């Protein structure tokens, strides 16, 4: 992030993998939308309807399962048109494999809907112009029959798990058929070949009456549209939170504004104090940022303080430092370092001095460099360096080699993309910029809800982070995964109170970390921006207390951290 913010770190250690299907990408979970919702709300979130279908977001009153969330979309057929449907515009690179992946969603038709049939369409961008064109792009379709409002025999277990009436539909992607002559006829929705432009559902029952009284109108509820690797077991699908492995756990840490003045020990002291006397858990990781300079100039002069870092270690915490390769507070006209200048060695003396200082620290230092490189807000981001990911690799390796040449033995390097790539382009695929196992000790990921300007679209922790989480855990399975930055904004005063709030977001984050994202070993909360602070409201503070500090999954101190750092 551009701004400096506070961090809490949770560290997980078990590499135990669940045998159930793995969530890959969430098309929509509706958690950020308010009850009812206006056309403007739908437009901001890429949701649309057509023909005889009207949409509204509703809160669930019949579902107690926390994983499935508290909101769904209700579609109502009305008017005299004989066609209709709804969809979600996506326009993103999604790594889908038609030979092993499934499209999944929950649907709840009313009892009056007898044997409804829907057509599901996935629009693919083959020619790279970000617009679906029938003559140029593929459209993949599948026709699905729905039940009549009560669980089928194979879905009856859903009633036991608090989702009575909801039908889990899980469709293998290899069952989808190309519906037109455009495109290349190959299902290639991924970073290298084509974006997923749109998900569309059309209702195929035009013969049914549409002039019934309002209470008898055909209605359907949809929820949690997603893709997974492998088939979701019927009755034991997305709505079931699998039991935690006995080895899975998470440690807690933080960063706060005290780090800007190098008062690193105060970061833990002040954060822990927020929750006393209700929690006695001790933090494990202290995270702070250091840049080339903060005085507004263009000369690198900010070096790590061995004395202050040692104080953090002696007080029982592990330091994590993000080295920001730029000049903070400099004039807009100041020429900032870029990947070329790093690779060409312009800052080698500075990096060597840094390495010499870190070598004197009395313990392990986690060092994050060139983070969020797949965004567009830092001078080292790939988009600002000729869109060439190889430069990121060379710059990362260059800094690493300087520390190695200085014989620094106590530093662990973190490679950390943002949860979403900006822009969504082929060259900005995170794995294109991976420096290699020999240069990376741990892999990081930054996940935010509300980091953009204005009133950003609300996104759940799971929805925002799951795609790159899946890619990283599949392709870099041997590397421990850390969430180096995360936070959620509060709802703004001009937003409806019926929508999900920050406290609910934290609750769902806790659930995600123990289920679909249980391979995460470190989570850091970004706590500086006013609405990001963990105590920005009493509800948010209490949610963190209840779902993190009072949950035995999240451990105290560094006892469970050091084993993984010493491997």
3-state SS string over 230-281?
Answer: CCCCCCCCCCCCCCCCCCCCEECEEECHHHHHCCHHHHHHHHHHHCCCCCCC
pLDDT per residue as tens digits for the range 535-552: 999 999 999 999 999 998
Q: Is the pLDDT of residue 79 over 50?
A: yes
The residue-averaged pLDDT of 291-299 equals: 89
Q: How confident is the model at residue 345 (pLDDT cuts 50, 70, 90)?
A: very high
Distance CA 148, CA 259 (A): 58
Least confident of 60-69, 178-187, 342-351: 60-69
pLDDT at 193: 87
DSSP lists the bridge partners of residue 227 as: 25, 103
Distance CA 18, CA 248 (A): 11
Cβ-proximal residues to 81 (8 Å cutoff; 6+ apart), any chain:
51, 52, 210
Q: CB of 313 within 8 A of CB of 345?
A: no
How much of the chain, in percent, has pLDDT values that exceed 90?
54
Q: Is the pLDDT of residue 13 over 90?
A: no
How much of the chain, in percent, has pLDDT values that exceed 70?
85
Q: Is the pLDDT of residue 31 over 60?
A: yes
Strands (E), 284-428: 285-293, 318-327, 365-369, 411-415
pLDDT per residue as tens digits for the range 385-431: 999 999 999 999 999 999 999 999 999 999 999 999 999 999 999 99
pLDDT per residue as tens digits for the range 302-339: 999 999 999 999 999 999 999 999 999 888 888 899 99
- Which of 5-19, 156-170, 324-338 is most confident? 324-338
Q: If we measure between CA atoms, which residue out of 257, 279, 283 comes closest to residue 269?
A: 283
Least confident of 23-27, 56-60, 162-166, 373-377: 162-166
Q: Is the pLDDT of residue 564 over 60?
A: yes
The residue-averaged pLDDT of 139-153 equals: 73
**Better-predicted residue by pLDDT, 63 or 40:** 40
pLDDT at 220: 87
Helix (H, G, I), strand (E, B) or coil at 183: coil
pLDDT per residue as tens digits for the range 264-294: 888 888 888 999 999 988 888 999 999 999 9
pLDDT at 144: 92
**Better-predicted residue by pLDDT, 238 or 180:** 180
Q: CB of 228 within 8 A of CB of 22?
A: yes
Least confident of 27-31, 61-65, 159-163, 227-231: 159-163
**Better-predicted residue by pLDDT, 369 or 263:** 369
Distance CA 463, CA 229 (A): 16
The residue-averaged pLDDT of 490-501 equals: 83
pLDDT at 384: 96
Distance CA 415, CA 417 (A): 7
Average pLDDT, the chain: 85
CATH 2.60.120.430 domain range(s) in the chain: 22-229
How far CA 311 is from CA of 129, 181, 319, 412, 489, in Å, comes to: 54, 67, 10, 19, 32
CATH class belonging to 250-565: alpha beta
pLDDT at 455: 75
pLDDT at 111: 52
pLDDT per residue as tens digits for the range 210-255: 444 444 567 889 999 999 999 876 554 555 555 556 677 878 888 8
pLDDT at 19: 54
The residue-averaged pLDDT of 98-122 equals: 84
Q: Is the pLDDT of residue 126 over 60?
A: yes
pLDDT at 154: 44
The residue-averaged pLDDT of 471-490 equals: 93
Q: If we measure between CA atoms, which residue out of 234, 207, 192 comes closest to residue 97?
A: 192
DSSP lists the bridge partners of residue 169 as: 105
Distance CA 429, CA 389 (A): 9
CATH 3.20.20.80 domain range(s) in the chain: 250-565
Instruction: Map tokens 């190695």 to a residue.
Output: 404
Instruction: Map tokens 């195929």 to a residue.
Output: 204
Instruction: Map tokens 């569309």 to a residue.
Output: 200
Cβ-proximal residues to 538 (8 Å cutoff; 6+ apart), any chain:
none
CB 493: neighbour CB atoms within 10 A? 6
The residue-averaged pLDDT of 347-355 equals: 96
Task: Tell me the CATH number for domain 22-229.
Answer: 2.60.120.430
Distance CA 422, CA 284 (A): 32
Q: If we measure between CA atoms, which residue out of 7, 13, 239, 12 comes closest to residue 106?
A: 239
**Better-predicted residue by pLDDT, 299 or 153:** 299
Burial 411-450 (b: 16+ CB within 10 A, else e): bbbbbbbbbbbeebbebbbbebbbbeeebbbbbbbbbbbb
């Amino acid at each position: 992030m551009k701004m400096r913010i506070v961090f809490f770190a949770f560290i997980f250690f078990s590499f135990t993998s669940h045998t159930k299907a793995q969530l890959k990408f969430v098309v929509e979970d509706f958690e950020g939308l308010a009850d009812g919702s206006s056309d403007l709300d739908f437009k901001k979130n890429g949701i649309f309807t057509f023909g005889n279908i009207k949409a509204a977001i509703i809160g669930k009153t019949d579902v107690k399962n926390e994983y499935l969330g508290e909101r769904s979309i209700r579609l109502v057929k009305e008017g005299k048109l004989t066609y209709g449907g709804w969809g979600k515009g996506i326009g993103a690179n999604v790594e889908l494999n038609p030979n092993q992946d499934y499209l999944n969603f929950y649907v709840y038709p009313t009892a009056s809907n007898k044997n409804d049939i829907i057509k599901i369409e996935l629009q693919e961008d083959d020619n790279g112009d970000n617009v679906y064109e029938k003559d140029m792009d593929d459209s993949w379709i599948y026709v699905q029959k729905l039940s009549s409002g009560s669980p089928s025999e194979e879905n009856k277990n859903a009633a036991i798990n608090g989702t009575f009436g909801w039908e889990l539909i899980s469709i293998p992607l290899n069952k989808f058929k190309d519906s037109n002559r455009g495109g290349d006829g190959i299902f290639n929705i991924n970073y290298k070949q084509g974006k997923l432009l749109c998900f569309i559902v059309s209702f195929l029952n035009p013969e049914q009456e549409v002039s019934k009284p309002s209470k008898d109108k055909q209605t359907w509820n949809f929820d949690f549209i997603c893709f997974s690797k492998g088939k979701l077991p019927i009755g034991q699908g997305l709505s079931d939170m699998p039991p935690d492995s006995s080895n899975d756990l998470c440690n807690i840490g933080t960063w706060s504004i005290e780090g800007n003045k190098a008062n690193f020990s105060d970061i833990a002291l002040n954060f822990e104090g927020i929750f006393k006397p209700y929690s006695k858990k001790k933090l494990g990781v202290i995270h702070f940022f250091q840049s080339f300079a903060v005085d507004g100039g263009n000369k690198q002069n900010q070096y790590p303080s061995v004395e202050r870092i040692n104080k953090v270690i002696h007080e029982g915490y592990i330091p994590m430092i993000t080295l920001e390769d730029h000049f903070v507070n400099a004039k807009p006209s100041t020429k900032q370092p870029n990947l070329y200048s790093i690779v060409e060695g312009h800052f080698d003396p500075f990096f060597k001095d840094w390495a010499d200082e870190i070598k004197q620290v009395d313990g392990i230092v986690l060092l994050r460099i060139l983070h969020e490189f797949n965004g567009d807000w830092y001078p080292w981001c790939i988009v600002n360096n000729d869109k060439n990911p190889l430069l990121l690799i060379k710059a990362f390796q260059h800094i690493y080699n300087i520390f190695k040449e200085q014989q620094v033995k106590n530093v662990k390097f973190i490679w950390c993309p943002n949860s979403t790539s900006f822009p969504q382009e082929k060259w900005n695929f995170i794995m294109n910029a991976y420096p290699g196992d020999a240069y990376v000790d741990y892999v990081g990921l930054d996940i935010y809800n509300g980091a953009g300007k204005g009133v950003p679209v609300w996104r759940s922790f799971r929805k925002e982070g799951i795609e790159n989480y899946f890619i990283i855990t599949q392709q870099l399975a041997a590397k421990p995964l850390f969430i180096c930055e995360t936070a959620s904004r509060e709802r703004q005063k001009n937003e409806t109170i019926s929508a999900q709030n920050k406290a609910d977001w934290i609750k769902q984050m806790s659930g995600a970390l123990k289920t679909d994202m249980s391979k995460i070993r470190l989570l850091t909360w970004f706590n500086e921006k006013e609405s990001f602070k963990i105590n920005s409201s009493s509800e948010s503070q209490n949610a963190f207390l209840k779902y993190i500090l009072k949950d035995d999954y999240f451990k105290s101190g560094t006892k469970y951290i050091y084993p993984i750092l010493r491997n």
